[in-house]
Chains A and B, each alone.
Chain A
Amino acid sequence: MALTGVLRPGFVQIRVLDMKEALTHYCDRLGLFEVSREKDGRVYLHAMDEFDRHSVILREADQPGMDRMGFKVRTEHDLDLFEKRLRDVGMEVEHVEAGEQPGVGRRISFVAPTGHRFDLYAEMEQSALPPMTHNPDVMQVDPKGMGVQRFDHCLLYGDDLDGTERVFVEALDFEVSETVTAPDGTRIASFLTCSNKAHDLAIVRHDEKGKFHHASFLLEDWSEVGRAADIITRYNISIDIGPTRHGITRGKTIYFFDPSGNRNEVFAGGYSYYPDNPRRNWDADEVGKAIFYYERVLNDRFMGVVT
């Protein structure tokens, strides 16, 4: 078994200004399913092709953004191992007890040098409505809205990009699949993977700590990206850009905002990554093509607007 240690992004907890509007957006438009509402007000959501209980947690607050992102690891033992390795690279590690999120086992948690909080956990209850496993049909229930299959990755903005990259590479065994580099050698963007995907986490250098650029959800193909665009216009959802394609990762994509201003992506495709692949790099003067392969120019909004 080749994929060990950190398996994948497992959840993201997003702050929203208005829960009712957020649920219409994430459930009726993206196609997530509500799993539970807890006493503290947090609402737990699940995508149709995920085995685990939940992947998106919404929390009502007076400012939008990301509270934390969680990665699932393969075994309980990995948590102890990663705790030690995180401490070895200078991270303070906190313990979050089992049940802090319903159905989730104990977590270890740290704040990366870019100011983002990340959790690792090994156990989450299975969804009550998981993908089928016995003579499995392609879906258990009919898709809603865009019909997103699963939560896929986040792109985060923060100051100490090199520091966060180092923690994920040295302590958590991520690989850097692709980068954008300024003429003086400064890393502007780093695409990190813990799997066979082109990226599981992306970081862009930015003045402020702890900023959230987007949470991304997987669609099956390019025609579903087009259908997502139809839904975005039909319901006057705030658009950022697309449908288009990325040079980086090669994903086919569309970007839009939730009703609180948090950016979402739905995408399909992208290359497969193997740890022996050489790193791909883009020069800063080709960043237009790197980010938006068809337009070949950046829009200021994509680079500058975060929550």
Chain B
Amino acid sequence: MSHRIRFEGLDEVFECRNNESVLVAMERLGLAVVPVGCRGGGCGVCKVRVLDGWYHTGKMSRAQVTEQEEREGYALACRLYPDGPLVLQAIGKLVRVT
């Protein structure tokens, strides 16, 4: 069982397996739609907003996704598990220090 993941404004569509995070599916398929950081819900660089679809999430740092944001559909892609097809918006970014 897999679920179709689409990012708003992008043509690319990919399939995410059941119990696989959106970020891991994206990496496994060699795509680079959102930046990949710690993959553990800690650093926040893979932040997305779910515009449409059913999903559940794992533990995420409150410093990266507040309770209010979580209610509004924000999540970290590394902790985002689809329960059906999802439409997402990329939010996170990597800031270089040098």
- Interface residues, chain A, with chain B CB atoms under 8 Å away: 17-18, 62-65, 157, 180, 182, 188, 204-207, 238, 257-263, 284, 287, 298, 300-301, 303-307
User: Closest CB of chain A to B81's CB: distance in Å?
Assistant: 15
Complex Cα distance, B96 from A304, in Å, reads: 5
| Residues B43 and A306 in contact, CB atoms below 8 Å apart | yes
Residues in A with CB closer than 8 Å to B97 are 157, 188, 204-207, 303-304
Q: List 19 A-B contacts (CB under 8 A).
A: A17-B59, A62-B61, A62-B62, A63-B61, A64-B42, A65-B42, A65-B63, A205-B97, A238-B38, A257-B40, A259-B40, A260-B42, A261-B38, A262-B38, A287-B98, A298-B98, A303-B96, A304-B94, A307-B43
Residues in A with CB closer than 8 Å to B40 are 17, 64, 238, 257-262
Complex Cα distance, B64 from A65, in Å, reads: 12
Q: State the 4 A-B residue pairs at the shortest beta-carbon distance, nearest first.
A: A261-B42, A261-B38, A261-B40, A238-B39
Known A-B contacts A204-B97, A261-B42, A306-B43; the reply to A301 vs B36 at CB < 8 A is yes
User: Closest CB of chain A to B71's CB: distance in Å?
Assistant: 16
Interface residue B10 (Cβ < 8 Å from any Cβ of A): no
User: Closest CB of chain A to B50's CB: distance in Å?
Assistant: 20
- Other A-B contacts than A63-B42, A260-B42, A304-B94, 17 sampled, CB-CB below 8 A, are A17-B41, A62-B62, A64-B41, A65-B63, A207-B97, A238-B39, A260-B41, A261-B42, A261-B61, A262-B42, A284-B98, A287-B98, A300-B35, A301-B45, A305-B37, A306-B43, A307-B42
Interface residues in B26-82 by Cβ distance below 8 A to A read 35-43, 45, 59-64
Interface residue B1 (Cβ < 8 Å from any Cβ of A): no
User: Closest CB of chain A to B94's CB: distance in Å?
Assistant: 4
| Residues A261 and B43 in contact, CB atoms below 8 Å apart | yes
The chain A residue sitting closest to B24, CB to CB, is: A236
Q: Most chain-A CB neighbours within 10 Å: which of B35, B40, B94?
A: B40
Complex Cα distance, B64 from A157, in Å, reads: 17
| Residues B42 and A17 in contact, CB atoms below 8 Å apart | yes
Known A-B contacts A64-B61, A284-B98; the reply to A301 vs B42 at CB < 8 A is no
| Residues A261 and B39 in contact, CB atoms below 8 Å apart | yes
Q: Most chain-A CB neighbours within 10 Å: which of B41, B42, B62, B98?
A: B42
Residues in B with CB closer than 8 Å to A306 are 43
| Residues A305 and B59 in contact, CB atoms below 8 Å apart | no
Q: Most chain-A CB neighbours within 10 Å: which of B60, B94, B97?
A: B97
Q: Most chain-B CB neighbours within 10 Å: which of A63, A65, A301, A305?
A: A305
Q: Most chain-A CB neighbours within 10 Å: which of B38, B60, B96?
A: B38
Complex Cα distance, B42 from A188, in Å, reads: 24
Complex Cα distance, B8 from A274, in Å, reads: 57
Residues in B with CB closer than 8 Å to A205 are 97
Contact for A257 among B42, B59, B61, B96, CB less than 8 A: B42
Residues in B with CB closer than 8 Å to A18 are 59
Residues in B with CB closer than 8 Å to A284 are 98
| Residues A188 and B98 in contact, CB atoms below 8 Å apart | yes
Residues in A with CB closer than 8 Å to B42 are 17, 63-65, 257, 260-262, 307
